[in-house]
Chain A
Amino acid sequence: MKLTIDGKKVEAGKGATVLEAAAGAGIEIPAVCAHDALEPYGACRLCVVEVRQRGTSRWRTVASCLYPVRDGLEVRTKTVRVERHRRVLIELMLARCPGIPYVEELARTYGVERARFARGEDDCIMCGMCVRVCSEVVGASAIGFSSRGVDRRVSVPFGIDDSCCIACGACAYICPTGAIQMEYERMLELRRSEGEHRCRYALMGLVADAGCSFNYECAHCEVDQSMWERYGGHPLLAVRRRKCSSKGTGPKERPGRPTRRRTRGRSKGTAERRTRGGSKGTAERRTWGGSKGTARRTRTSTGSRKR
């Protein structure tokens, strides 16, 4: 498939999205809710671009993370209209989640100084990555969305039933704002009361379940440590990403594609955003590792713990 993006000729495999094609060509499009281990979703709409099929005159605004490439497609990623839409979107996000470093950074990058709308006090930008990682990658579907409209929330079934959570921590790891965190205490509590234990790496299918020499106190676990080192991130996401690129077909294995998507406008990487929530220094990487517990959405600043 041959298309042009911002005047540049780009080739992309069939089934690729415009966002992927652009990333391959080194053209940056902000994309908050896209992740290369997840299916595209289309919630943040920041990846908006203008497209025109050859032969037609009208430019349409579409979400590039979902729009499939077509032969002869023309794409513009930085027109006045697109930039204006992006700024209003970021402004809306900033109004909902003021004081979140990740959102503030995004606003700075796109020149949004302040939101002209009433400020909320949410941490969650509703990107849905936690929910999708839990169902698509982990396969646990322990969390989902409840309610609708402005009341939409990430929650466990009926707001109470966290029994499907396998404490893998993928949601907390992937969350860009730190809105979802693991509750270590709660997890230990559950384990003690229910007798039978299983290693969460066994639940994730990464190791054989052979009993735990640390009495399932994950805070002292070496497996945990080694997993992180081996995969350079959350093991499940790393495995999934590799799986995608070893399929041999599709857009995910195109050369030149960065292994880790950097188009999210997240300039300071994961470390910065994960420090939110009061954890200090070295705690970031271990936040999830040490917090073997059920996923709970919290606003508390004690969510992530230092080991």
Chain B
Amino acid sequence: MCTDTGCRVCGSTGVYEAFVEEVRKARLGRRVEVKATGCHGYCEKGALVVIHPEKILYVQVKPKDVAEIVSKTLKRCAVVKRLLYKDPESGERIVHEGDVPFYQKQMRVLFGNNTRIDPCDITDYIACDGYQALRGVLETMNPRKVIETVIRSGLRGRGGGGFPTGIKWRSARKAKGERTYVIGNADEGDPGAFMDRSICEGNPHSIIEGMLIGAYAVGAEEGIIYVRDEYPLAVETLTTAITQAYECGLLGRRILGSALTFDISIMRGGGAFVCGESTALMASLEGKMGEPRAKYIHTVEKGLWNQPTVLNNVETWANVPRIFLHGVDWYTSMGTGDVSHDPWGGSKGTKVFSLVGNINNTGLVEVPMGISLREIIYEIGGGIPGGKEFKAVQTGGPSGGCLPESQLDLPVDFDRLTEAGSMMGSGGMIVMDEDTCMVDVAHYFVDFLKDESCGKCLPCREGLRALSEILTRITEGNGRSGDIKLLQELSETIIGTSLCALGSTAPNPVLSTLRYFKKEYISHIRDKRCPAGVCKALIQYRIDAIACNGCHACFKVCPADCITGEAKEIHVIDQDTCIKCGSCYEVCRFDAVKR
């Protein structure tokens, strides 16, 4: 059962304890093992319990349900029907995990083992072929061959940039320095994203194994995992995992009898979004202020303490053992493009997205590259709740772009998403329904980035402030006729001159909404109207005298007491005191409240 952060919120700790207790009471201890695992992905339906080997999935389990599961399923092999997943369309109950639509289209290369592994027990990982890839590498390959393999696999960085990992390693190997560092980036500051956390909490050894292979390839002896401090559980699991790896001789000196020596330590980040950026992260590791510096000399040559440094996202690291375990051909069979000659030629493998927003199935989904956004949103995500229309999906974290319905058939691929004005980023995916105002969305993200900018360079610091100021003005109904052009001009300079990628991608939300939803900007500026009815300054609620039958419902819900009218009489909203909360609009069953 999942005891990761998402399910913990749904009470999975209690469920776990109940299981231990019930299994003990039922004297099943020798035949049944209760295992607390990492995230399964389907956080929407937590707490999740999977019964192996049949893979029976129980969703939304509460501690009080445990006795029944034990007595029925564990003792008598019968399923507890009411706890099974119910298909929202057909109403059918689905027994097996693999048949649930949420899992069907996924390809769980990294997360597959999460449902079987206790992250705090290294033997579980080893039982699932863990550290076999490392052994194979140490026994049969020289570092050059390792790097070549990674290049041929077409693995590209999962942290945002999509830079070919093998190429990075090769440059680091070539770079001159006293020592080389290997770093895992688990800073994950994007709002709404939690895939890195789930890997750290669910399968920490896959990261360690990946880093060991990387260290062997580039000749590093020291590794660091940089975890944000807001992830206490991840820090705890990683610490346990590292300790166990040392105990098993998988870290330290002469690993597995080879000449490889490698140490890993954990550093905790202070929670600044910009510290996920490579140079800021290294500055922060050096104890300096977490602000980026120019990368005209790459960090693979002069990174941490001015030494060659390989920084990869933890998801990238977790991919590495998989490639060596199952081979390059297997890996390149997933994804788009052709990477046999050029690692930039396509996107291979899988990608984990955290699917959130106005969508039925929120959670973590791992899909093969090249799957369309439509499949992710409608087949895995189960579509938009409440029968609402889809409006846009934002991929790539706060500085990603918003893509409309017309782009839904776009394959998930580093280059195609960039062409469409968005990006893969680290894998955030926010779905928005028809009630979303795109100007407001752009404003929200620009504000986030404005607050997270380190403030070192002028275009990002002042430029984002100016962007935010213009967007505020537009959403408040004070937009001016030249504002769209001004937004574009400013964005261009911010992109062209910012020091780091925070600044140079920050205008994406503005530019992409301008590209696909320009009409909304125009109605805000010219007609002083917010089509989605979100921008408070631009909406007015009033009651249609003909449609109102005096049911008095709105009168009762209005928190500002600004509706007057007796029962069975026509009601009126006092515009001066109305706070535009929309409660009356929601409650009126006769469509008499107009917006």
A93 adjacent to B458 (CB under 8 Å): yes
Residues of chain A with a CB closer than 8 A to B450's CB: 149-150
A109, chain B: closest CB distance, angstroms = 17
Q: Is the CB of B466 within 8 A of A92?
A: yes
Cβ proximity bits A127-168 to B, threshold 8 Å, 1 near / 0 not: 010000000000000001101111110000000000000000
Question: Which residue from A66, A95, A117, A150 sits with its C-beta under 8 Å from B455?
Answer: A150
Q: A96-B462, A148-B272, A150-B450 are in contact. Are A117 and B469 (CB under 8 A)?
A: yes
A40-48, A170-178, A205-213 - interface stretch? A40-48
Given contact pairs A61-B496, A67-B296, A118-B469, A89 touches B459 in the complex (Cβ within 8 A) = yes
Query: With A48-B496, A148-B452 in contact, is A89–B458 under 8 Å at CB?
Result: yes
Residues of chain B within 8 A (CB-CB) of A147 are 455
A-B contact pairs, 24 of them (CB 8 A): A44-B457, A63-B497, A63-B499, A66-B296, A67-B296, A88-B459, A88-B493, A89-B459, A92-B459, A95-B466, A96-B462, A117-B462, A117-B465, A118-B469, A147-B455, A148-B272, A148-B453, A149-B454, A150-B453, A150-B455, A150-B461, A150-B465, A152-B456, A152-B461
Q: How far is the CA of A21 from the CA of B464 in the complex (A)?
A: 32
What chain A residues lie within 8 Å of B497 (beta carbons)?
A: 45, 48, 61, 63, 85, 89
Verify B296–A45 contact, CB threshold 8 A: no
A45 pairs with B457, CB closer than 8 A: yes
Most chain A beta-carbon neighbours within 10 Å: one of B466, B470, B492: B466
Interface of chain A: mostly helix, strand, loop or mixed: mixed
Interface flag for A260 (CB, 8 Å):
no
Q: How far is the CA of A99 from the CA of B234 in the complex (A)?
A: 50
Residues of A within 8 A of B466 (CB): 92, 95, 117-118
Q: Which residue of B lies closest to A66 (CB)?
A: B294
Q: Are A81 and B496 in contact (CB under 8 A)?
A: yes
Q: Which B residue sits closest to A145, measured CB to CB?
A: B289
**Complexed CA–CA distance, A117 and B294 (Å):** 28
Instruction: Number of A interface residues at 8 Å Cβ cutoff, please give it.
Output: 35
Interchain CB contact (< 8 A) of B461 among A42, A85, A149: A149
Q: For the complex, is B178 an interface residue (Cβ under 8 Å from A)?
A: no
Excluding A149-B464, A152-B461, 6 further A-B contacts by CB distance (< 8 Å) are A42-B499, A48-B496, A88-B459, A92-B463, A145-B291, A148-B455
* Count, chain B residues at interface, CB 8 A: 35
CB distance from B299 to the nearest CB of A (A): 14
Q: Which of B272, B454, B499 contacts A45 (CB 8 A)?
A: B499
Q: Is the CB of A44 within 8 A of B296?
A: no
Contacts of A43 in B (CB 8 A): 456-458, 499
Alpha-carbon distance A238/B440, docked complex (angstroms): 52
Contacts of A152 in B (CB 8 A): 454-456, 461
* B489 contacts chain A at the CB level, 8 A cutoff: yes
Closest to B470 in A: A117
Q: How distant is the Cα of A95 from the Cα of B296 in the complex, in angstroms?
A: 30
Contact residues in A for B457 (Cβ distance below 8 Å): 42-45
A-B residue pairs, 8 tightest by C-beta: A152-B455, A92-B462, A88-B493, A45-B497, A117-B466, A66-B294, A149-B453, A61-B496
Q: Establish whether residues A88 and B455, one from each chain, have CB atoms under 8 Å apart when the complex forms.
A: no
B259 contacts the other chain (CB 8 A): no
Counting CB contacts under 8 A, is B297 at the interface? yes
A84 within 8 A of B: yes
A68 in the interface, Cβ–Cβ < 8 Å?
Answer: yes
Tell me the complex Cα distance, A128–B453, Å: 16
Closest Cβ–Cβ distance, residue A296 to chain B (whole Å): 20
Report B-chain residues with C-beta under 8 Å of the C-beta of A68.
Answer: 296-297
User: Using Cβ atoms and an 8 Å threshold, which residues of chain B touch A63?
Assistant: 294, 497, 499
Task: Report Cα–Cα, A43/B498, bound state, in Å.
Answer: 9
* A31 CA to B457 CA, complexed, in Å: 13
Is B314 an interface position by the 8 A CB rule?
Answer: no
Shortest beta-carbon distance from A165 to chain B in Å: 19
* Contact flag A89-B493 (CB < 8 Å), given A126-B455, A145-B455, A150-B450: yes
B-contact 0/1 string along A226-269, CB 8 Å cutoff: 00000000000000000000000000000000000000000000
B462 contacts A151, CB within 8 Å? no
> In the complex where A48-B496, A85-B496, A145-B289 touch, is A92 in contact with B458 (Cβ < 8 A)?
yes
Could you give, for residues 77-89 of chain A, a 1 whenever the CB lies within 8 Å of some chain B CB and a 0 otherwise?
0000100110011
Take A84-B493, A147-B455, A149-B452 as given contacts and tell me if A126 and B461 are in contact as well, using a CB distance cutoff of 8 Å.
Answer: yes
CA–CA, A85 and B458, complex, Å:
12
B45 in the interface, Cβ–Cβ < 8 Å? Answer: no
Query: In the complex, which residue of chain A has the Cβ closest to the Cβ of B288?
Result: A144
- Tell me which of A43, A128, A144, A148 has the highest count of chain B C-beta atoms within 10 A of its own C-beta: A148
Check if A58 is an interface residue, CB within 8 A of chain B: no
Contact pick for B293, options A42, A48, A93, CB 8 Å: A42
Interface residues, chain B, CB within 8 Å of chain A? Answer: 272, 274, 289, 291, 293-294, 296-297, 450-459, 461-466, 469-470, 486, 489-490, 492-493, 496-499
CA distance A196 to B496 in the complex (A): 53
The reply to whether the CB of A116 lies closer than 8 angstroms to some CB of chain B is yes
A62 at the interface (CB under 8 A from B): yes
Most B Cβ at <10 Å: residue of A61, A118, A149: A149
| Complex: A118 Cα to B486 Cα, angstroms | 13
A149 to B492, CA, bound (A): 19
Please give, as numbers and ranges, the residues of chain B lying within 8 Å of A148 by CB-CB distance. 272, 274, 452-455
A150: chain B residues at CB < 8 Å are: 450, 453, 455, 461-462, 465
Q: Min CB distance, A146 to chain B, in Å?
A: 9
Whole-angstrom distance between the alpha carbons of A43 and B452 in the complex? 16
CB-CB < 8 A to A118: which residues of B?
A: 466, 469
Complex alpha-carbon distance, A89 and B274, angstroms: 22
- Closest Cβ neighbor of B468 among chain A residues: A150
State in angstroms the CA–CA spacing of A1 and B296 once bound together.
Answer: 17
**Within 8 Å CB of B297, what residues of A?**
68
Pairwise interchain contact A45-B458, C-beta atoms closer than 8 A: yes
B residues within 8 A CB of A61? 496-497
Distance in Å: Cβ of A29 to nearest Cβ of chain B? 13
Pairwise interchain contact A116-B463, C-beta atoms closer than 8 A: no
Distance in angstroms between the alpha carbons of A96 and B469 in the assembled complex: 13
With A85-B497, A148-B274 as known contacts, state yes or no: A95 contacts B451, CB within 8 Å. Answer: no
**Chain A contacts of B454 at CB under 8 A?**
148-149, 152
Assuming the contacts A42-B293, A42-B457, A63-B294, asked whether A93 and B496 have C-beta atoms less than 8 A apart, the reply is no
Alpha-carbon gap, A67 to B294, bound state (A)? 9
Q: By CB atoms of chain A within 10 A, which of B274, B453, B456 has the most?
A: B456
Q: Residues of A contacting B453 with CB < 8 Å?
A: 148-150
Taking CB atoms, residues of chain B closer than 8 Å to A84 are 489, 492-493
Q: Which residues of A contact B493 (CB under 8 A)?
A: 84-85, 88-89
The answer to whether B498 touches A45, judged by C-beta atoms less than 8 angstroms apart, is yes
B496 neighbours in A (Cβ, 8 Å): 48, 61, 81, 85
Query: Once bound together, how far apart are the Cα atoms of A116 and B451, in whole Å?
Result: 21
CB distance from B366 to the nearest CB of A (A): 34
